[in-house]
Amino acid sequence: MDFGSLWEETCSLLKAQMNYVSYTTWVEDNMIPTAEENDTLIIGAKMDGMIPMIQKKYLPLIEKCLSESAGRPMKAMILSKSEAEKRISGTDPDGNDPRLNTKYTFERFVVGDSNRFANAAALAAAESPGEAYNPLFIYGGVGLGKTHLMQAIGNRIHQEYPDKRILYLTSETFTNELVDAIQQKKTFEYRAKLRRMDVLLVDDVQFIAGRDATQQEFFNTFNELYNENKQIVLTSDRPPKDIQRLEERLCSRFEWGLVVDIKPPDEETRLAILRTKVEQENMQIPGDVLQEIAHRVEGNVRELEGCLTRLTAYSSMTRTPVSMEMCNLALREIFDQRKIKQITAELVMRTVCDFYTVSMRDLIGPTRKREITVPRQIAMYLTRELTGMSLPQIGEVFGGRDHTTVMHSCKTIEAALQTDSSRSKLVDQLKKMVQQAQ
């Protein structure tokens, strides 16, 4: 019999032989069976000041019930929780393996507007674990760096506080390990293992929703750690309130600390991420290719990385350096999948013409009247935004204009978007109209 089940039986005997208040106070709420050594059960006591009293008054009874449950003579040793935990660390091979990927560091995390706040919160949590934000809840879409940031916290704490016990696990792993532990009658050990962590990182916590036993166990672990000011970090693909079938009490606990989101990176950040990766991996990829990828592959950092890997593979297979032509060839499917490719300049122009009730002829013609130049500039800007066409190509379809004219138009609109909120709303609306019209 494992000591977890042994302890459960012992407790039912103790319960019958002690008065209710003493049993709940000194045993149930206080004692944690922690390890077994040569017929001795090591018990951790949360109230370590009371250990001498408990030993004097209850140790003989505990040992009697323990032996009765085990069917052989057994001893018990009551230690403070932390002393008791030291007895397992040597025997538990998984005792201090944080399961972190050492590549996921703050140094390698590129910060932009989309993740600045999340990054700052993660840094604060890593600098003073358990004190700054607890729990820290990071949410955002797939491939946006949640796992990276969470592991960066773990890696930084590991570096700054080597004695702290850190554990990273996904909520899937948590569920599976818990189920295994229940089947092997090792729930106590598993519980004890989680509860002696100083930092618990649970990734993709949305997957525990709807699983009752897991939520219950997680709730208890959360409370234990939280009450002892241990740092908890959680990630999810959505904010706590939007996780369906998540127990209300868990949802509210997830919101006790700080909830931050990571948004998809803007083009500038995408380019910075690409440049960093290229430098780190020592890849030979020209700048204009990086710009093209940053421009076309929106939304997901993992996809950006995929493009680089693919280009590198293509280049080594063909034994030719990466070029713009190779980029268009090797990444054609990736680019083609994207909506922006399906939007044509014509569609943008028609939408803008309809909206402003100007004719296509005027739009691409020479007139410099304001009623025409504004729609024209917006149409050029949106064509640049939505189609992935180059500046000269856009100039061509807008009545054979020079690419510098197109660039000037784009800059004018970009500037207006910063300062003029009604203009910015309007451009946004037009953009949506084009996207919906395709």
| Residues in contact with ligand ADP by the rule CB under 6 A | 108-110, 115, 140, 142-148, 273, 301-302, 305
User: Binds 384, which of ligand ADP, Mg ion, none (CB < 5 to 8 A, cut-off by type)?
Assistant: none
Measured from the CB atom, the residue of 151 and 231 that comes closer to Mg ion is 151
What, of Mg ion, ligand ADP, none, does residue 305 touch, CB below 5 to 8 Å by kind? Answer: ligand ADP
Comparing CA positions, the residue from 288, 331, 292, 276 lying closest to residue 309 is: 331
Minimum CB distance to ligand ADP smaller for 147 or for 377: 147
Taking the least distance from each CB to ligand ADP, the nearer of 4 and 145 is 145
Q: How far is the CB of 146 from Mg ion (least distance, A)?
A: 5
Q: Which does 75 bind (CB under 5 to 8 A by kind): ligand ADP, Mg ion, none?
A: none
The least distance separating ligand ADP from the CB of residue 52, rounded to whole angstroms, comes to 49
Q: Least CB distance from residue 341 to ligand ADP, whole Å? A: 23
- Which among ligand ADP, Mg ion, none contacts residue 297 (Cβ within 5 to 8 A by kind)? none
Angle between helices 171-183 and 187-195 (to 10 degrees): 140
Residues that bind Mg ion (CB under 5 A): 146-147
Whole-number Å distance between alpha carbons of 104 and 149: 7
Cβ closest to ligand ADP, residue 146 vs residue 196 = 146
Q: Which position's Cβ is nearest ligand ADP?
A: 145
Q: Which is nearer to Mg ion, 62 or 152 (CB)?
A: 152
Least gap, CB of 234 to ligand ADP (angstroms): 12
| CB 136 to ligand ADP: min, Å | 15
Answer with the entry of ligand ADP, Mg ion, none that 211 interacts with (C-beta below 5 to 8 A by kind): none
- Min separation Cβ 135 and ligand ADP, Å: 17
Residue 266: CB atoms within 10 Å: 14
Give least dist CB 129 to ligand ADP, A.
20
Q: Using H for helix, E for strand and C for coil, what is the string for the chain?
A: CCHHHHHHHHHHHHHHHCCHHHHHHHHHCCEEEEEEECCEEEEEECCHHHHHHHHHHHHHHHHHHHHHHHCCCCEEEEEEHHHHHHHHHCCCCCCCCCCCCCCCCCCCCCCCCCCHHHHHHHHHHHHCCCCCCCCEEEEECCCCCHHHHHHHHHHHHHHHCCCCCEEEEEHHHHHHHHHHHHHCCCHHHHHHHHHCCCEEEEECHHHHCCCHHHHHHHHHHHHHHHHCCCEEEEEECCCHHHCCCCCHHHHHHHCCCEEEEECCCCHHHHHHHHHHHHHHCCCCCCHHHHHHHHHHCCCCHHHHHHHHHHHHHHHHHHCCCCCHHHHHHHCHHHHHHCHHHHCCHHHHHHHHHHHHCCCHHHHHCCCCCHHHHHHHHHHHHHHHHHHCCCHHHHHHHCCCCCHHHHHHHHHHHHHHHHHCHHHHHHHHHHHHHHHHHC
Among residues 79 and 110, whose Cβ is nearest to ligand ADP? Answer: 110
Q: Decide whether 267 or 396 has the Cβ nearer to ligand ADP.
A: 267
Which of Mg ion, ligand ADP, none interacts with 145 (beta carbon under 5 to 8 A by kind)?
ligand ADP
Give yes or no for a contact between 256 and 135, defined as CB atoms under 8 angstroms apart. yes
Per partner kind, with CB cut-offs from 5 to 8 A, the member of ligand ADP, Mg ion, none near residue 388 is none
- Nearest to Mg ion of 4, 98 (CB atom): 98
CB of 146 to ligand ADP, least distance (A): 3
Least distance CB 142 / Mg ion (angstroms): 7
Give the one entry of ligand ADP, Mg ion, none that residue 142 binds, where binding means its C-beta sits below a cut-off of 5 to 8 angstroms depending on kind.
Answer: ligand ADP
Name the binder of 215 from Mg ion, ligand ADP, none, CB < 5-8 A by kind.
none
Return the number of the residue (98 or 395) whose C-beta is nearest Mg ion: 98
